[in-house]
Structure 1
């Protein structure tokens, strides 16, 4: 794995197509044989290693606009229905209160990985990552290097996995009859973290009927072997859905793909903070990349003597203008500048708030104040980013391969942040 995560690494050097092919590796041979037994026969895409993204799928023939990229039969999908039909089914069905769809899938993945050569899903388990770059795997030192808003979400992710493991302890204990080893060693926190990240990063959206044996949480998960080797590109367009007629999960390419090029899909218009949080990677040249301004940073731009600040912030909150305040590739967002204009208002100008919400300027001096405050925000955020990069540089010294990978992802995010803020400063200074 390279330094930007599974799907997004800087290109180092161009390699020949022959040297990239992975289809002759034993684990991929076994995976394709296993899939063929379940009805998947396509040879359009083969596994390969790409210098810029790592492992992915290569097109062996030209893919035209609206051509089928991949069609994976229902028998190949791992869903809660699969779990309920398995040896775990009777344990889940009699457990009260019912377990969640996510926990059912996690328990199955853990049990199947533990089964080793006896697992019917071994060919798929063998190609899953051994660990992930999601924040659930981050140490506190690495989490503290993240931007403040993302830092809180990353910590929350770690805590959610711990809480899930703790709350599931008695359910896991009920599975002891299936095991020869103590259940606590098989269904450990590390095992659950791996399974949870596998589900969270690799499932495709597929709505399932509500099962009476599971909790009422939405069941929209399907692990899709081979299909999940497709990497993310924010500029690619595809259509993806489960075909009721064909009983297959189908992805069609909107733009097509050249022969011997990597075939991509798009997970959605996500900025790099969300990609890191949800999938454990960042995407270079991401058109959706932004830097967030949180409330704590916003307050640093105001003096204590501004007695109207609490009322102004309450007003912004009531009108949903304290969230998603960002700097992007084209400078400060409309929402950020509108929020700053509202904060700039003097008491005698409060009657203008409706026109400000519609994008109108108030006065020349208020516009200057707004621009200067936006510049101040840039300076504050750049300072935080520089301090994080300095601490990151020290942590890299002597770090193991796993932490080095995590630090490299955070470093890319922070350097992208600096580039966006630097460009915003230039635009605001014009």
Structure 2
């Protein structure tokens, strides 16, 4: 038995010894040759609805179950993922930790862009990932929130070991493998702005939030777009992974990380799906404003932006996907941003937005927006496709993201170019459906 297999068996035995129930129809399988690490396979035919495993909440790792909660009073005051990350930093290398068999099967190295060198990061230039890696924000969270606690408690932490590097490892594990347990609620930590809004709103439904937790065994299931056949259910006394369709003997069992585009899959989990039906591209609002308002009076431009945001048409970004269609909100925003002073004054007075008609001017502006978005990539689509067979690992993943995004932009541009122009008349104002916007990443 290899070390990899021994660790898997020790983890399995630990689960069972601590109250987990695991079906005899599943087993671990080594998928490292497919860059998928450890996965779960069906050893017998499984029917839809079968429980694959059941986990008591006592086996989950969170700020509620870690012994650190009784030793660090500041834990509950930390924001977001920080309490769980600090608990993991405390537990991960303790030989006597209750979760040691679990930590032994979790990765310590990651292929997410957070850990890439500068040479590999250059391959992401132009993609939607660059502004979302968040390394500086992550570093600031450690230095401002966690490091002071670590220094304050030398009896619990070793500054040399419990450092920024370990923080990034634990943070990456939380981002990739944690679940939100809606059955366990904690008081929601709010910003000053949120507190002020609460004072003006009597509704207290949002005063609690679900508990972010690590779920041993659930995170052993891999993801593959279109192959999801299992789902985690949160019951009052346990968590259960159930088959959501029939699974044949020998098939891998897949959970789902959601309908994510390749940019998000790479950023969060370090892999991509070469054939991803959920790929998309963001057209940022600033690009739209720059193209449409070039040479305009600054005060008028700001008024238009404020008006569009109040009406819910202009957002941080507009999303285009594999339907290759222009969002109506983008067309509306272009009309408003390109309007004359008198036309805009009329819109303000009526407090209504124009209809999303693709006029000659709107069509030209949208074509320019798409072309400028394409210019952000330092290479062409043809160059990328030729290079794809010559690279591997991080560079290959970056190429797949770039190729997917470029294809969407090009197909959308082609779709716009062949779309007939609407009647050349400034559209009559109308209300825009604020709920119809596609959700951005």
> Does TM, scored on the shorter chain, surpass 0.5?
yes
Deviates more, 1:43-52 or 1:121-130: 43-52
- The alignment's C-alpha RMSD in Å is 3.8
Q: Give the match's secondary structure for 1:333.
A: coil
For residues 34-49 of structure 1, the aligned pairs below 5 Å read 34-40=14-20, 41-49=22-30
Match for residue 422 of structure 1 among 401, 404, 410: 410
Determine the structure 1 residue equivalent to 2:55.
72
Q: How big is the shift at 1:188?
A: 0.8
Counterpart contact for 2:309–2:315, Cα < 8 Å: yes
Distance in 2 (alpha carbons) for counterparts of 1:73 and 1:91: 24
CA spacing shift, 1:359–1:59, aligned 2, 3 Å: farther
Match for residue 167 of structure 1 among 118, 123, 145: 145
Q: Give the match's secondary structure for 1:46.
A: strand
Counterpart contact for 1:385–1:417, Cα < 8 Å: no
Counterpart contact for 2:185–2:208, Cα < 8 Å: no
Counterpart contact for 2:231–2:256, Cα < 8 Å: no
Indicate whether 1:367 and 2:349 are aligned. no
Indicate whether 1:381 and 2:373 are aligned. yes
For residues 143-292 of structure 1, the aligned pairs below 5 Å read 143=121, 145-147=124-126, 150-155=129-134, 157-178=135-156, 183-207=158-182, 208-210=184-186, 218=209, 220-235=211-226, 236=228, 239-244=231-236, 247-292=237-282
CA spacing shift, 1:298–1:340, aligned 2, 3 Å: same
Counterpart contact for 2:231–2:243, Cα < 8 Å: yes
Q: Give the match's secondary structure for 2:41.
A: strand
Distance in 2 (alpha carbons) for counterparts of 1:421 and 1:32: 46
Query: Scaled by the length of structure 1, what TM-score is found?
Result: 0.76
CA spacing shift, 1:237–1:333, aligned 2, 3 Å: farther
Distance in 2 (alpha carbons) for counterparts of 1:119 and 1:146: 42
CA spacing shift, 1:98–1:331, aligned 2, 3 Å: closer
Q: How big is the shift at 1:217?
A: 8.5
Q: How big is the shift at 1:32?
A: 0.9
Match for residue 10 of structure 2 among 30, 35, 38: 30
Q: How big is the shift at 1:238?
A: 5.4
Determine the structure 1 residue equivalent to 2:434.
none
Counterpart contact for 1:342–1:356, Cα < 8 Å: no
Higher relative contact order (CA 8 A, sep 6+): 1
Distance in 2 (alpha carbons) for counterparts of 1:24 and 1:305: 63
Determine the structure 1 residue equivalent to 2:426.
none
CA spacing shift, 1:211–1:177, aligned 2, 3 Å: farther
Distance in 1 (alpha carbons) for counterparts of 2:341 and 2:80: 53
CA spacing shift, 1:33–1:426, aligned 2, 3 Å: same
Q: Give the match's secondary structure for 1:268.
A: coil
Determine the structure 1 residue equivalent to 2:195.
none
Query: Scaled by the length of structure 2, what TM-score is found?
Result: 0.74
Indicate whether 1:295 and 2:285 are aligned. yes
Determine the structure 2 residue equivalent to 1:333.
326
Distance in 1 (alpha carbons) for counterparts of 2:186 and 2:80: 10
Deviates more, 1:32-41 or 1:227-236: 227-236
Q: Give the match's secondary structure for 1:325.
A: strand
CA spacing shift, 1:220–1:82, aligned 2, 3 Å: same
Count of residue pairs brought into register by the alignment: 385
What do the CA deviations read for 1:254-312 (whole angstroms, capped 9, x no partner)? Answer: 33333222222223333333333333333333332211111332244346334454433
Distance in 2 (alpha carbons) for counterparts of 1:120 and 1:316: 54
Determine the structure 2 residue equivalent to 1:9.
none
| Long gaps (5+) in structure 1 | 1-20
| Long gaps (5+) in structure 2 | 192-206, 419-441
Determine the structure 1 residue equivalent to 2:424.
none
Determine the structure 1 residue equivalent to 2:423.
none
Distance in 2 (alpha carbons) for counterparts of 1:382 and 1:427: 15
Distance in 2 (alpha carbons) for counterparts of 1:42 and 1:256: 15
Match for residue 70 of structure 2 among 71, 76, 90: 90
Q: Give the match's secondary structure for 2:108.
A: coil
